[in-house]
Structure formats: structure tokens, C-alpha cells
Amino acid sequence: MSDGPSGPLLLTTNGFETYRLLDSGHGRKLERFGDTVLVRPEEQAIWTPRLPEREWEAADAAFTGDTDEEGAGRWRRKPGRPENWTCRHGPLTFCCKLTSFRHVGVFPEQEAHWRYMTERLTNRVHPKVLNLFAYTGLASLVAAEAGARVTHVDASRKAIAWARENQSLSGLEDRPIRWLTEDAPKFAAREVRRGNRYECILLDPPKYGRGPNGEIWDIFRDLPDLLRLCRDLLEPQHGTLILTAYAIRASFLSLEMMVREIFGGPTEAGELVLEEAGGRLLSTSLFVRRSGP
């Protein structure tokens, strides 16, 4: 195996049935989730919007970053527009919500990982998937729909409740998913001691975070040790690791070299990208994927 980089590889999502990136620029993005159009901040969009400003002003809600009393949380919402609504992706139905962190419960660029994971899990008999920092559970539901036994781990009880709501909306209550409010590194360490193995591990850590008992997470300090635990948990011959990182001062190359050092084997790395209707690309995050033969 060469020590050189494999990429960068751009994994592009041009939307799905209920999501579309309509425009971006001047530090913002204009998106459609179902029948709701949103304006959200986007530091990567340093260019000029293509659509006229009136189309941006017609959005149903905009994240303002201030604390006025209009709309939900830090959103300015048009009268009559809901705070919560549902969207679909294939057989899945999920709830979108206007949160105070500008997120709505789904990261559409992850659809590229969902496709890849489904391909890796197809034709395996009840593969085991571990989803760490799993948030609202769409990747867990994609894996469960593909026939996997899923362990979903997140430190937030609210996120777990939201994920279980998405499970119910999708009619997947009978699928084998363990919902655990846990600190990801502590849980992974216990799984190593138990001798458990997984065919696929999803890892989407925040830059900083807190566990349910006040544990402090710092991605630059703690990610290497967590990756070593994941190495010991991953099925050695055919296991798949999918690592995503948002909003950190690092490159895909830094992450790829770390994964290669810890795991060995073939890797691919680059950026997750959303494509606008006109073909312009918006980078959202860094990723590394490692799969056995």
C-alpha cells in the first residue's frame, strides 16, 4: 500500500425526492426540504447567488442567529409555517425540525454514504452496524432497512427520542435497533472488552461535545484513540469504516493519513458535496472510508 493520498474524491449528492439545494452564495444556502424552503448560513458559499433576492426573501424560514421572538428559536419563520414537518427518502419518512443549532435533523450530503453503506451490506446475513454520534438516526434506519442489526449511540436523549420518532414514521419498529444514550468512547471501550465485532462502523463526531455524564469530547485530542477502539471493533476481513468530519481546521489528507496509520488497508477520502440545480458544487464536510477486500 502506498503511503500517498488516494484522493481527493468528491462524493456528490444532487438531492433526492424531498430535498434540493436551490442556490447558495454570500455566506448562505437556499434549500427545499419537502414543501418548506429554508435559508441557512453557509460559510463555504463565498460566491454570488444565482437566483434573484426575491426568491430568497420568499423562503418559509431563515436562520438569523439572533434571539428575537420571531419564529422558533433562532429562526425567523413566516406566519403559518410549521416548526416541524416530515420528508421522505426512499422508503424512509423522517421529521424535520427548526433547531437552535441551524440544523433540521438531516444532513442531505450524507446520502452518498447511505448509498455506499447499503451496497456494502447487501447480500450479507444480518450484518452488525455501529453508529457512533448517531444524532437523529437516518443512517441507522438506512442500515436497518438494508437488513442490518444496528447499535445507535448518541449522548443526547433528545436526539435518541427524535431518532425513535423517525423509526416509527418509517414503519421500522420491528427492526433490530438498539438505541443507547451513551458516551461514544466509553461505549466503544466496553465493546472491545466484550469482544464484539461489527461489519460497518459509522463515525460522525462533532468538533467539541459532552457526554451524558459531562464527558468532554475534543476531536483533535480524542479521535485517534476512538479510531483505535473502532479498529478493534471492526470485522478484520470485510469491515467498513465511514468517518465524516464537519467544521474542523484540517484537511481530508490529515484524516486519511491517520486512518491509514491506525487501520492500514485501502482508503478513500475527500469531501461530501451538494450539487445545485445549475451544477455548482458546495462542499460540506470531510470524509474517509476504509473497506476490506
Q: What distance, in Å, lies between the first and last C-alpha atoms of the chain?
A: 13
Residue type, 69: E
Query: What does the alpha-carbon distance between residue 206 and residue 200 come to, in Å, rounded to a whole number?
Result: 20
Residue 211 in any domain: the answer is yes
Kindly tell me if the per-residue pLDDT of 72 is higher than 60.
no
Which pLDDT value is given to residue 2?
A: 52
Residue type, 127: P
Which pLDDT value is given to residue 101?
A: 87
Section 193-215 average pLDDT: 93
Residue 102 in any domain: the answer is no
At 190 the three-state DSSP class reads helix
Please report where in the chains the cell 416530515 appears, as a residue: 86
pTM for the model? 0.93
Half-sphere exposure of 234 toward its Cβ, with a 13 Å CA cutoff? 27
Which pLDDT value is given to residue 250?
A: 86
Kindly tell me if the per-residue pLDDT of 138 is higher than 70.
yes
Which pLDDT value is given to residue 4?
A: 61
165: which DSSP letter?
Answer: H
Residue 2 in any domain: the answer is no
Residue 252 neighbours by CB under 8 Å, 6+ apart: 5, 7, 8, 269, 270, 271, 286, 287, 288
Please report where in the chains the cell 443526547 appears, as a residue: 156
Same domain, 201 and 240: yes
Whether the CB-CB separation of 251 and 271 falls below 8 Å is answered with no
Same domain, 82 and 59: yes
Which pLDDT value is given to residue 293?
A: 58
Percent of the chain with pLDDT over 90: 81
Give me 77's grid cell: 419563520
Structure-model confidence comparison of residues 71 and 250, the more confident one? 250
Residue 241 in any domain: the answer is yes
Cα→Cα distances 256→116, 227, 242, Å? 18, 12, 11
Which pLDDT value is given to residue 247?
A: 82
Section 101-108 average pLDDT: 94
Kindly tell me if the per-residue pLDDT of 217 is higher than 80.
yes
Structural domain ending residue among the three candidates 66, 97, 128: 97
Please report where in the chains the cell 433576492 appears, as a residue: 53
pLDDT band per the 50, 70, 90 thresholds, residue 1? very low
Query: What does the alpha-carbon distance between residue 152 and residue 149 come to, in Å, rounded to a whole number?
Result: 10
Same domain, 156 and 273: yes
Kindly tell me if the per-residue pLDDT of 79 is higher than 60.
yes
Structural domain ending residue among the three candidates 97, 120, 142: 97
Query: What does the alpha-carbon distance between residue 87 and residue 85 come to, in Å, rounded to a whole number?
Result: 7
Q: Where are the alpha helices (DSSP H) in 83-204?
A: 111-121, 138-145, 157-169, 184-194
Whether the CB-CB separation of 148 and 174 falls below 8 Å is answered with no
Whether the CB-CB separation of 239 and 250 falls below 8 Å is answered with no
Boundaries of domain holding 23: 19-97
Pairing of strands 75-77, 84-89: unpaired
Q: Based on the structure, what is the number of domains in the chain?
A: 2
Whether the CB-CB separation of 94 and 166 falls below 8 Å is answered with yes
Which pLDDT value is given to residue 289?
A: 96
Residue 1 in any domain: the answer is no
Dihedral sign from CA coordinates of 72, 78, 82, 85: negative
Nearest-5° Cα angle at 51, 45 to 54: 115
Can you give the CATH number for the domain in which 69 is found? 2.60.40.1180
List, for residues 9-57, the tens digit of each pLDDT value: 999 999 999 999 999 999 999 999 999 999 999 999 999 999 999 999 9
Please choose, from the candidates 29, 33, 17, the residue with its C-alpha nearest in 3D space to the C-alpha of residue 283: 29
Section 239-250 average pLDDT: 92
Same domain, 192 and 47: no
Section 69-77 average pLDDT: 68
Structural domain ending residue among the three candidates 62, 97, 132: 97
Helix/strand/coil (H/E/C) assignment for every residue in 220-263: HHHHHHHHHHHHHHECCCCCEEEEEECCCCCCHHHHHHHHHHHH
List, for residues 154-201, the tens digit of each pLDDT value: 999 999 999 999 999 999 999 999 999 999 999 999 999 999 999 999
Percent of the chain with pLDDT over 70: 95
Section 211-226 average pLDDT: 92
131: which DSSP letter?
Answer: E
Kindly tell me if the per-residue pLDDT of 69 is higher than 80.
no
Residue 3 in any domain: the answer is no
Structure-model confidence comparison of residues 4 and 183, the more confident one? 183
Give me 183's grid cell: 458516551
What average pLDDT does the structure give for the chain?
A: 92
